[in-house]
Amino acid sequence: MISKNIEGKLNSGLIRKMFEEGNRLKAIYGKENVYDFSIGNPDLEPPVEVIQALKDLTASPTAGMHGYMSNNGYLSTRTAVAEQLSSNCAVKIDPDSICMTVGAAGAMNAVFRAVLDPGEEVILLAPFFMEYVNYIDNHAGKAVIVPTEKDTFLPDMDAIKAAITPKTKAIVINSPNNPSGVLYPASVLFSINDLLKAQDHVIHVISDEPYRDLVYDGLQIPSAFDYIDNLIVCFSWSKSLSLPGERIGYTAVSPRHEDYDILCKAIVFSNRILGSVNAPALFQRVIEKSINAKVDVFNYENRRNMLYDVVTRAGFSCKKPDGALYLFVKSPEDDMVFCEKCAKHNLLLVPGSAFHCPGYFRLAFCVSEDTIIRSEKAFTAVGREYGLID
Amino acid sequence: MISKNIEGKLNSGLIRKMFEEGNRLKAIYGKENVYDFSIGNPDLEPPVEVIQALKDLTASPTAGMHGYMSNNGYLSTRTAVAEQLSSNCAVKIDPDSICMTVGAAGAMNAVFRAVLDPGEEVILLAPFFMEYVNYIDNHAGKAVIVPTEKDTFLPDMDAIKAAITPKTKAIVINSPNNPSGVLYPASVLFSINDLLKAQDHVIHVISDEPYRDLVYDGLQIPSAFDYIDNLIVCFSWSKSLSLPGERIGYTAVSPRHEDYDILCKAIVFSNRILGSVNAPALFQRVIEKSINAKVDVFNYENRRNMLYDVVTRAGFSCKKPDGALYLFVKSPEDDMVFCEKCAKHNLLLVPGSAFHCPGYFRLAFCVSEDTIIRSEKAFTAVGREYGLID
């Protein structure tokens, strides 16, 4: 007597299967002898600014600090967020365009609830974070999956154009991308806007940006606000402040959005009725006090380099990621079969099929340097098995 | 280009209208001259145990304390919750039957997502917290509204029986009740179970219990676990620990539930995909450390008594509430018209129609004693206007 829709989903989930396989292997071989690259759980601790803000706020509690506030969050927090966003683009972001949310997952659900009616379509660019399909299905929408360009993983404008129908309500972009690590240059954002504005109805661009602050090699990430008009940004501090368990993020609507007023209201309302009501109060204040803090991005960059070297030395081919926490590597055979074989070497990877992009596998590099170093013998063994190296 | 479903809801909301009217009046007459009984925002500070737990946890941070955990929450927190629940009933509650959630609103959304398919029906007993209708509609269910017994506000078993169809998937109970303040005795819980178990399909009983710890006059609240088999409890610490802004609560499935295993899994999965992912990490630990703490219930009881006396002295008729934070008072004329007239006396109430129970109005007594005392002249004036007193 549970929902048939949910019953059908319960046994899916390739990452979870990998996670369970990992636990099984760790029980047999010991934790240190299993190389688990399956989960993108940021392993750095939050920056000192965050830890200090938490100490300060809880050491001197103020009346009502754990009570309800407006459903969109504290004005002071939204003002800090709006100022930070405005400082990175040529557009002036208003605090009222921000709705504080329960992470980016909460943000995306609020947005889909706000914009979708049953049967309306959302374009996803494969490879993509597989939960998007669940988020869309929660609100009776239909995911329309469009592949990106081969090897570059950049959006294929012709393919997107061909996928647009009168029912297309939104497109999701995610840069730096999970799992490919690709960063969309300004020209790509410009082209997406151009294509969508040429349509005869509004198509929302939902920019999921949890990895926005994790960019390497000194690259600058262009602000979507500068290039896309009908834009809704979904952000989370899960990665940039290592706070995934605390569920704190936001939505931000571009002031250039054609439906700005009603859309801002609809998102706040949806955030309320979906049960978040508001983002956690204490962490809204923590964010306000540490708005410019960031985790040690060089640490992630270093581990990206280390794992990239390990994998390529073992003969695998991989585009070096510009950002995020993953390597997306070409699979020498069917990616599902390959990942199962790797598990026999105690090497836990996620097949590209989980991201609707077969022929690849994903490695999360937010693991200890020690794990990366010790994993080399396993990668080398697999590389030899497939004749990639001598 | 927002959802038509959401667009239709945006301008509804009687409590919000009252809230806006209140802000308008406060701007004109000064905050101290407006008697705002419209919002159930607990005004007591969290107990010292909670404040201390927050200080302790943040003063000595541990690695990973803000990271992801299992989607259902920390085992140690769930164990503490299960033990507390077990100590109040004859049933042994398992930690794996608990899913930590983003408040009771998050809990109810996860439950409805887990059990409803489109068009399935949920019975609501009027008067009820109006957000239930939105929660059900989020998941394409249909709210079936059944009135309670006149004056007592207890469930009318014949009316419930008549409302059951093959599509009935669940019934929501809420004791102590918002807005009526009525507490369901054990015999009522027993009868509900009896009626539902006689049906030829499983009907989930969703017991929304945010006011469970706010019970007055030394009354004991019976545990729903002792009387109802196909039970799912939704709880929040918003009221009992004055933490509404922090969004912390749980779902608990009875071990006697016919669909126990799959239902527990479905709720955790739904909680994940709806965007909560997990309940806020820090407050899970705070709850664990202060599991037996409670706000000062006598304080609320005292204010209930004060406001009850003010209202009845002004000639109004009202059942003294057993629990929760509200008086539900008979309206001397159409409740919408009455509440508008009261606003002219700077008296802000919510019409019973907002709770699908016209002919009454609701007063929240979680306001200062001073507000209650100063409001008497306004109630007296209104009572005289309607000829209720000389």
B31-60 average pLDDT score: 94
Q: In angstroms, what CA-CA distances link B221 with A389, B176, B211, B365?
A: 71, 8, 10, 21
pLDDT < 70 regions, chain A: 12-14, 16
- Strand runs (DSSP E) across chain A, as ranges? 35-36, 98-101, 121-126, 142-147, 168-173, 204-208, 231-236, 249-253, 326-330, 347-348, 350-351, 360-364
Nearest to A275 among B2, B108, B114 (CB): B108
Express each pLDDT in B73-83 by its tens digit: 999 999 999 99
* A242/B66 touch (CB, cutoff 8 Å), yes or no: yes
Whether the per-residue pLDDT at B17 is higher than 80: the answer is: no
Q: What is the DSSP letter of A224?
A: G
Question: Is B260 part of the contact surface with chain A (CB cutoff 8 Å)?
Answer: no
Express each pLDDT in A69-107 by its tens digit: 999 999 999 999 999 999 999 999 999 999 999 999 999
Using CB atoms and an 8 Å cut-off, which of residues 19-58 of chain B contact chain A? 41-43, 45-46, 51, 54-55, 57-58
**What pLDDT is attached to residue A20?**
74
Express each pLDDT in B315-345 by its tens digit: 999 999 999 999 999 999 999 999 999 999 9
Q: Give B364's Cβ-side CA count (13 Å radius).
A: 19
* Fold exhibited by the domain A4-46+295-385: Aspartate Aminotransferase, domain 1 (3.90.1150)
Q: Assess contact for B338 and B351: CB atoms under 8 A.
A: yes
**What pLDDT is attached to residue B16?**
67
Whether the per-residue pLDDT at B240 is higher than 90: the answer is: yes
- Which residues share a beta bridge with A123? A144, A171
B32 vs A354, which has greater pLDDT? A354
Contacts of B140 in chain A (CB under 8 A): 118, 140
Nearest to A276 among B64, B106, B270 (CB): B106
A249: three-class secondary structure by DSSP: strand
Contacts of A115 in chain B (CB under 8 A): 1-3
* A6/B202 touch (CB, cutoff 8 Å), yes or no: no
Helix, strand, coil share of chain B (percent; to 5): 45, 15, 40
Contacts of A266 in chain B (CB under 8 A): 2-3, 6-7, 10
Express each pLDDT in B244-283 by its tens digit: 999 999 999 999 999 999 999 999 999 999 999 999 999 9
In angstroms, what separates the C-alpha of A1 from chain B's closest C-alpha? 7
Residue B325 corresponds to which tokens in the numbers above?
């934070």
What is d(CA A204, CA A141) in angstroms, rounded to the nearest whole number? 14
In angstroms, what separates the C-alpha of A360 from chain B's closest C-alpha? 25
**Residues belonging to chain A:** 390
Question: Is A1 part of the contact surface with chain B (CB cutoff 8 Å)?
Answer: yes
In angstroms, what separates the C-alpha of A44 from chain B's closest C-alpha? 8
Q: Assess contact for B224 and B233: CB atoms under 8 A.
A: yes
User: How many helices (H) and strands (E) are present in chain B, helices listed first?
Assistant: 13, 12
Q: Least CA distance to B61: which residue of chain A?
A: A51
Residue A112: partners with Cβ closer than 8 Å, 6 or more residues away: A122, A135, A136, A138, A139, A141, A170
Nearest to B202 among A1, A67, A106 (CB): A1
- Give the DSSP letter string of A74-93: -HHHHHHHHHHHHHTSSS--
Instruction: Name residue B270's amino acid.
Output: S
Using CB atoms and an 8 Å cut-off, which of residues 239-258 of chain A contact chain B? 242-247, 258
Picking from B1, B9, B77 by the largest number of A CB atoms within 10 A of its own CB, the best residue to mutate is B1
Q: Least CA distance to B39: which residue of chain A?
A: A68
* B138/A273 touch (CB, cutoff 8 Å), yes or no: yes
Contacts of A325 in chain B (CB under 8 A): none
**What pLDDT is attached to residue A21?**
80
Q: What is the DSSP letter of B214?
A: -
- Strand runs (DSSP E) across B13-167, as ranges? 35-36, 98-101, 121-126, 142-147
Contacts of B57 in chain A (CB under 8 A): 58
Using CB atoms and an 8 Å cut-off, which of residues 186-215 of chain A contact chain B? 201-202, 204
Q: What is the DSSP letter of A223?
A: P
* A140/B140 touch (CB, cutoff 8 Å), yes or no: yes
Contacts of A242 in chain B (CB under 8 A): 66-67
- Give the DSSP letter string of A91-154: S---GGGEEEESHHHHHHHHHHHHH--TT-EEEEEES--THHHHHHHHTT-EEEEEE--TTT--
Residues A36-69 as b or e (16 or more Cβ within 10 Å = b): bbbbbbbbebbbebbbebbeebbeebeeebbbbb
**What pLDDT is attached to residue B23?**
80
**Closest to A177 (Cα-Cα) out of A14, A351, A362:** A362
Nearest to A266 among B6, B67, B202 (CB): B6
Contacts of A250 in chain B (CB under 8 A): none
Q: Assess contact for A92 and A198: CB atoms under 8 A.
A: no
**What pLDDT is attached to residue B324?**
98
Looking at domain B48-289, which of 3.40.640.10, 3.30.450.20, 3.40.50.720, 3.40.190.290 is its CATH number?
Answer: 3.40.640.10
Question: Is A6 part of the contact surface with chain B (CB cutoff 8 Å)?
Answer: yes
Locus of tokens 């690695």: B63
Express each pLDDT in A336-360 by its tens digit: 999 999 999 999 999 999 999 999 9
Question: Is B7 part of the contact surface with chain A (CB cutoff 8 Å)?
Answer: yes
**What pLDDT is attached to residue B389?**
95
Using CB atoms and an 8 Å cut-off, which of residues 285-324 of chain B contact chain A? none
Location of each CATH 3.40.640.10 domain in chain A: 48-289
* B4/A66 touch (CB, cutoff 8 Å), yes or no: no
Location of each CATH 3.90.1150.10 domain in chain B: 4-46+295-385
Q: Count contacts between A and B (CB, < 8 Å).
A: 229
Whether the per-residue pLDDT at B22 is higher than 90: the answer is: no
Nearest to A244 among B67, B138, B270 (CB): B67
Contacts of B101 in chain A (CB under 8 A): 275
* A277/B247 touch (CB, cutoff 8 Å), yes or no: yes
Q: Least CA distance to B67: which residue of chain A?
A: A245
Question: Is B268 part of the contact surface with chain A (CB cutoff 8 Å)?
Answer: no
